[in-house]
Structure 1
Amino acid sequence: MSQSLNLERRQDLTPLTDHLINISLGENMNQNAVTATRNVAIVGPYLSGKTSLLESLLFVTGATSRKGNIKDGNTVGDAIAEARDRTMTVEINVADTEYQGIRFNWIDCPGSIEFAQETYNALMGVDAAVVVCEPTSDRVLMLAPLFKFLDDWKIPHLVFVNKIDQLSCDGGACGQSYRQILDALKGVSSRPIVPHQYPIGKAEQLIGFIDLVTEQAFHYHTGAPADPVPLPDSLKDAEHAAREEMLEALADFDDHLLEELLEEIEPPQEEIVKDLKMELGADLIVPVFIGVAEQDYGVRHLIDALLREAPAPEATAERRGLTGKGSATVAQVLKTYYTPQGGKLSLARVWTGQLTDGSVLNGIRAGGLYHIFGQQQQSTPEAKAGDIVAIGRLEGIHTGDTLSTEEKGAKELPKAPAMKPVYGFAITAENRKDEVKLSGALTKLLEEDPSLAWEQHEDTHEIILWGQGEIHLKVALDRLRRKYNLPMDTHLPRIPYKETIRKSTSSHGRYKHQSGGHGQFGDVYLDIKPVERGEGFSFSESIVGGVVPKQYIPGVETGVREYLSQGPLGFPVVDVAVTLTNGSYHSVDSSEQAFKQAARVAMTEGMPKCNPVLLEPIMAIQVSAPTEFTSKVLQLISGRRGQILNYEPVSGWNGWDCISGYLPQSEMHDFIIELRSLTLGIGFFNWEYDHLQEVPGKLADNVLAATGNGNGNG
């Protein structure tokens, strides 16, 4: 992006930030009155410490009197059984707190890629995101998909390097390890990474940090705010270099600051803070903070920075093209819940106007407004622009929907792209009496989690539940059991094999049945031949002289089609042409039904002579992964009987490749599990059905033996 364009984006935000800059300048605020709002998502990989950070944020701001602990299962977030069973976040957790006159609405998002849809949906409604990562440079790559989403949608975000006490400090010098983390972050971010703090170590231990804006050093203390201390002499040069790096990054977007640096004029702190606020709000930079959430280290300074520098809801609405003028209310649903007590709740971001209990949105009257704090709901009479609240009983409304009080409705706001399913289970109710309830329960399950899908497969007739991975589906099955009392049996979906023929033949079929009174008589001669793959089935007739009356010919075709539903190998038959060439009839005993049976006899006799072969579905796949894993992905595909067609850089993804190819469906079930295992959990793929292909001989024998069908000549 050119400097001129960056400056233009920066200047666009000036009117929206000037009236809030008093926070940055340290003016006293009434802590008892909420004057503004910040909506902040907490995101990052699994095990990075997001839920611990939420607990610390709530504790240090006084929202809770005692911090919860993940091991003890008493956190505000992750309170549902499915999360506590796995000690991981499986859906967004919402909580709010008031600090320095600002209401912070926190949304703690899942870290596992299997629940990324939850994260992406929530990010569409926040003002900023805190990206939590561990102080290990080789794990920073796991942030790549998240950074890509944030940058694509221009969502302001900063980084909190958690567990910084694990940083390697050699004799108190932590700078080299810290630099490695910053360099790794630069490798996954399309925006400049800007250090906001610098670590202080003693011996092998990290003991504090330096704020690069104020150049004030702090020492951490358990259970208390960090103490200001003199800047260590041994770190002055390193701190100065890090501060210059920060200022130079800011100067790329501020000509006045650039002039000051060129003239070696020390810029005022107020100017630096204002630049940080404006550049962060325009998603031009990514500031980096450090701390230890479990010990509350660095958390107070993080929330102070969010208070000073994170964009206000008005700025976010302006950036989204929502001016807030007029009386119409516009909101967007970020998450749908079905609660045992309150029924359906729609968590929504109010963009313009205000909501009251009973407001009519999209023609539906709201049944209550609530602030959410973990699993608790607190009724509220109204919600203003910038608030995130739960709205009761909006039937027919789904996650991502735009809500409006206007009769004609508002223009649809952009939604997070839907993730395509990559893993499936075939499911059946343990109790057959529950099958009538399954469709309704699945509908609600999919409303809560749009990254799930289900189908009744037209070939295998199985109900298949699709999702983003094994854990994702197991969580969904747990919900079916707990919330809807629908325990499920599961098995791997059957592969919809087909069969076809290699050779042609002619076959005769006669059906004669006498049971008193009128009998049944039909007599046909059929030519059966293979056609090109993908041409399907065709039926024709070349009857001469009326040997088979026209009114009976549809019966012949019906008999042939019914037979092809299960050929000699036990599977549906495709790519076959059948021609009725001759036959005979009885003036009294013949009927369409009799000729249908005669056709089945002819097909049963003729098809095994046509050298039937087994076909398997082949999927077209596009696998995306960091370039350093490309060779492993190629081996993974070829090792599963896949055919590699091409690989090339992924457009818009720095350092990623996309491998295109074909993969048999029978090899695809756990493909995503192994792919993630090879790529630090971030590789992904898309797939769609492409064609049928003959199964290799030995494998075909194994399939037929497993299904009890071996009467064909494969």
Structure 2
Amino acid sequence: MGQSGASGTTRTIALVGPPGSGKTSLLEAMMFSSGSISRQGEVAAGSSVGDSSPEARQRGQSVETNLAGFDYLGDHFAVIDCPGSTEFSGAEDIALPAVDLAIVVVDPQPDKAVLAQPVLRAIESLGVPHAVFVNKIDQARGPLDELIKALEAVSSLPVVARQLPLFEGEKVTGFVDLALERAFVYRAGQASARIDMPQEIGPAEADARFHMLEQLAEYDDTLLEQLVSDIQPDQDTVFADLVTEMQERKITPVFLGSATGDFGIRRLLKALRHEAPKPDAAAARLGLDGPAAYVFKVSHAGQMGKLAFARAFGGELADGADFTLPDGSHSRAGGLFAVAGGATKKVSSCAAGDVIAIAKIENAAPGMALSTDGKAREAKVPPRRAAQYALAIEAKDRKDDVRLSAALTKLLEEDTALAVRRDADTQQTLLEGQGEGHLTLTIDRLRRRFGLEVNASRPATAYRESIRKGVTQRGRHKKQTGGHGQFGDVLVEIRPAARGTGFAFAQKITGGVVPKQWIPAVEQGLRDGTIKGPLGFPVIDLEAVLIDGSYHSVDSSEMAFRAAGRLAMVEGLRACDPYLLEPIQRLTITAPTASTPKITAAVSSLRGQILAFAPKDGWPGWDEIEAYMPEVHTRDFITELRGITHGLGVFEAVFDHMAELTGRLADDVIKRQSHAA
């Protein structure tokens, strides 16, 4: 049996917004108002349905998506509570495409509206209809106008106030529903009570309602004609326009309330019942043209093993269904579970639109479409976020290497913002993510869930060295061992090459002084000699030319000439005036314009170079900054950037070039390398 309510489908809602805005508290309030829980828990007290994991409660914030289901007035709702911190927003990227509507939860202070801009842009780019819920309205001071203006500045869609706050002194005690033209007072733990429209609010209500109608009339010519003719539209027309224009992503409506005060929650739920789109729109955004389940979360926990949380589209799903994965492989469901409250219960099937947990399905990962008609499908999902921070990790006990690899595989399935790679230059295993807190959480999970202790350190920087001048160097390898000896003799010109050349080899042998079958061995030996230069690092951007040599008809061999080539390079490099190179990365930094001066100063203080900055296209009040920065400083740059931008700034970094490192900085690097050798 499915979960769908009287409307015939599950309404799936995402709660998103800045950290600390009260998303998890809103989820708790929605469940309490619906009657699915008898007592409203508190996030701070660790008694909420959401944020129930040890990691979330230890940190006092959401670190993964929380999912809960409940019924309200005969309709079934699935609510996905997304983390507010940028460090844990990879989960939000995968969940948002699956929902019918997103609720952006914000604080009532106008100066905090800018914190919602990144998530607003993410929602808008995905084409997800959305509304704003102004939480903590009981803490608001002053009129709503300033907040609406601040929200308009960070939203690409018109912001439409649906409610007008009622004040008793400086405290908000209720609201006017501008569509219904009715006034209500808040009652904790109960539905708001209707009251007569306060006489003193009349002019402000009339102005606010007319402004709302003007905004709706931008997309409704009939309504525009009525307003011009001073004809009051009927309520059905107003509500129809509100619904249509939100669903078509032409407006962003704004609702008021308080999650912890239980104010305005039932009014919000009623709006969701009538105005949230049907799941067909989400299926179209995902590009799913047939029966499939879209996976937005995976967890490995408890006795149930692997659970894939998914939303069904295009038809009913049955327990034991055979799923086709995007690569064409097949996997059978080991059980279907409905989400009720914050728990799960086994079901035999689910309807299109329902959110379910699929047990023990192999190879399923977040962002995947699992088809039931045998056709492989790829879901349209946002690209993976660029890594912002990395740590080099290894098992404290080398006997745990295999266990560590298996545990990381499971964590990578759960968290699409994580990555693990082997650095070819430093031979370190790098754990990459969205920030120090993100990786600290991952290491905590390795210890807590898998019993693994790891060493974590700052990744090594792949320094290189090059040469300023050339030399002609002989390499002579001669060894007598009792039987056949070893003999190889080469004369090589070693000289600098253009930056980016790497290593170039040429030969000018005449007369067979070095037999041609052994010339490749000489080249390999020369390359061997560049693996560790005089300063202790690989040598790049040089050319070696084999110009002469000699051999012995009995004692010469491939091994002997390789040794001779290496000897020539090692000895020759000492005379070539070697110098140190460091990797330079090109950064693209995205941040609020107000932070740009501090960011440019920070880049300069880290030996960086600002290349350009300009307004970010489609992001009013934001800049995009291009800069060069030594890789050694990009390792920790995200920490400083987020401190400057109140957690909003992000960057992407790619290797650009190598540059000389001089002075005391170079001396310190060389000294550390010699001690490590």
Question: How many Å apart are 1:60 and its aligned residue?
Answer: 0.9
Q: Give the secondary structure class of the aligned counterpart of 2:19.
A: coil
Give deviations 1:243-265, integer Å, cap 9, x for gaps. Answer: 11111111111222222222222
Match of 2:593 among 612, 618, 627: 627
Tell me which moved more, 548-557 or 655-664: 548-557
Q: 1:474/1:710 Cα in 2 relative to 1: closer, same or farther (>3 Å)?
A: closer
Match of 2:606 among 640, 654, 663: 640
Match of 1:164 among 123, 128, 137: 137
Quick check: 2:214–2:224 contact (8 Å CA) kept in 1? Answer: yes
Quick check: 2:163–2:256 contact (8 Å CA) kept in 1? Answer: yes
Match of 2:635 among 645, 666, 669: 669
Question: How many Å apart are 1:437 and its aligned residue?
Answer: 2.2
Match of 1:599 among 556, 559, 565: 565
What amino acid maps onto 2:352 in structure 1?
Answer: A
Tell me which moved more, 85-94 or 693-702: 693-702
The answer to whether 1:432 aligns with 2:405 is no
Task: Identify the residue that residue 527 of structure 2 maps to in structure 1.
Answer: 561
Question: How many Å apart are 1:322 and its aligned residue?
Answer: 6.2
Question: How many Å apart are 1:535 and its aligned residue?
Answer: 0.8
The answer to whether 1:123 aligns with 2:119 is no
Q: Give the secondary structure class of the aligned counterpart of 1:609.
A: coil
Q: 1:497/1:374 Cα in 2 relative to 1: closer, same or farther (>3 Å)?
A: farther
What amino acid maps onto 2:370 in structure 1?
Answer: L
The answer to whether 1:389 aligns with 2:356 is yes
Task: Identify the residue that residue 333 of structure 1 maps to in structure 2.
Answer: 295
The answer to whether 1:580 aligns with 2:546 is yes
* Structure 2 Cα separation of the partners of residues 271 and 160 of structure 1: 23
Question: How many Å apart are 1:648 and its aligned residue?
Answer: 2.1
* Structure 2 Cα separation of the partners of residues 580 and 708 of structure 1: 31
* Structure 1 Cα separation of the partners of residues 342 and 487 of structure 2: 72
Question: How many Å apart are 1:331 and its aligned residue?
Answer: 2.4
Q: Give the secondary structure class of the aligned counterpart of 1:417.
A: coil
Match of 1:94 among 50, 67, 74: 67
Task: Identify the residue that residue 488 of structure 1 maps to in structure 2.
Answer: 454
- TM, length-normalised to structure 1: 0.90
Question: How many Å apart are 1:515 and its aligned residue?
Answer: 2.8
What amino acid maps onto 1:407 in structure 2?
Answer: G
What amino acid maps onto 1:403 in structure 2?
Answer: L
* Structure 2 Cα separation of the partners of residues 447 and 32 of structure 1: 32
Q: Give the secondary structure class of the aligned counterpart of 1:83.
A: helix
Question: How many Å apart are 1:278 and its aligned residue?
Answer: 1.2
What amino acid maps onto 1:381 in structure 2?
Answer: S
Task: Identify the residue that residue 266 of structure 1 maps to in structure 2.
Answer: 232
What amino acid maps onto 1:73 in structure 2?
Answer: G
The answer to whether 1:408 aligns with 2:375 is yes
Quick check: 1:497–1:616 contact (8 Å CA) kept in 2? Answer: yes
* Structure 2 Cα separation of the partners of residues 61 and 295 of structure 1: 15
Give deviations 1:392-434, integer Å, cap 9, x for gaps. Answer: 2221222112221222334x33112211111100001111100
Question: How many Å apart are 1:42 and its aligned residue?
Answer: 0.6
Task: Identify the residue that residue 335 of structure 2 maps to in structure 1.
Answer: 368
Quick check: 1:503–1:611 contact (8 Å CA) kept in 2? Answer: yes
The answer to whether 1:469 aligns with 2:469 is no
Match of 1:139 among 95, 108, 112: 112
Alignment size in residue pairs = 669
Q: 1:710/1:583 Cα in 2 relative to 1: closer, same or farther (>3 Å)?
A: farther
Question: How many Å apart are 1:516 and its aligned residue?
Answer: 2.0
* Structure 1 Cα separation of the partners of residues 283 and 562 of structure 2: 68
Match of 1:545 among 505, 511, 522: 511
Task: Identify the residue that residue 149 of structure 1 maps to in structure 2.
Answer: 122
Task: Identify the residue that residue 380 of structure 1 maps to in structure 2.
Answer: 347
Match of 1:292 among 258, 281, 292: 258
Give deviations 1:555-575, integer Å, cap 9, x for gaps. Answer: 222221112111111111111
Q: 1:322/1:282 Cα in 2 relative to 1: closer, same or farther (>3 Å)?
A: farther
Match of 1:350 among 312, 327, 349: 312
Quick check: 1:200–1:210 contact (8 Å CA) kept in 2? Answer: yes
Quick check: 1:125–1:334 contact (8 Å CA) kept in 2? Answer: yes
Question: How many Å apart are 1:482 and its aligned residue?
Answer: 2.1
Q: Give the secondary structure class of the aligned counterpart of 2:98.
A: coil
Match of 2:321 among 326, 337, 359: 359
Give deviations 1:218-251, integer Å, cap 9, x for gaps. Answer: 2222232222222222221111111111111111
What amino acid maps onto 2:523 in structure 1?
Answer: E
Q: Give the secondary structure class of the aligned counterpart of 1:420.
A: coil
* Structure 1 Cα separation of the partners of residues 511 and 226 of structure 2: 102
Question: How many Å apart are 1:313 and its aligned residue?
Answer: 2.3
Give deviations 1:532-554, integer Å, cap 9, x for gaps. Answer: 00011012222233222223322
Task: Identify the residue that residue 524 of structure 1 maps to in structure 2.
Answer: 490
Q: 1:270/1:375 Cα in 2 relative to 1: closer, same or farther (>3 Å)?
A: closer
The answer to whether 1:193 aligns with 2:143 is no
Question: How many Å apart are 1:204 and its aligned residue?
Answer: 2.6
- TM, length-normalised to structure 2: 0.95
Quick check: 1:89–1:109 contact (8 Å CA) kept in 2? Answer: yes
Question: How many Å apart are 1:701 and its aligned residue?
Answer: 0.9
Q: 1:321/1:86 Cα in 2 relative to 1: closer, same or farther (>3 Å)?
A: closer
What amino acid maps onto 1:56 in structure 2?
Answer: A
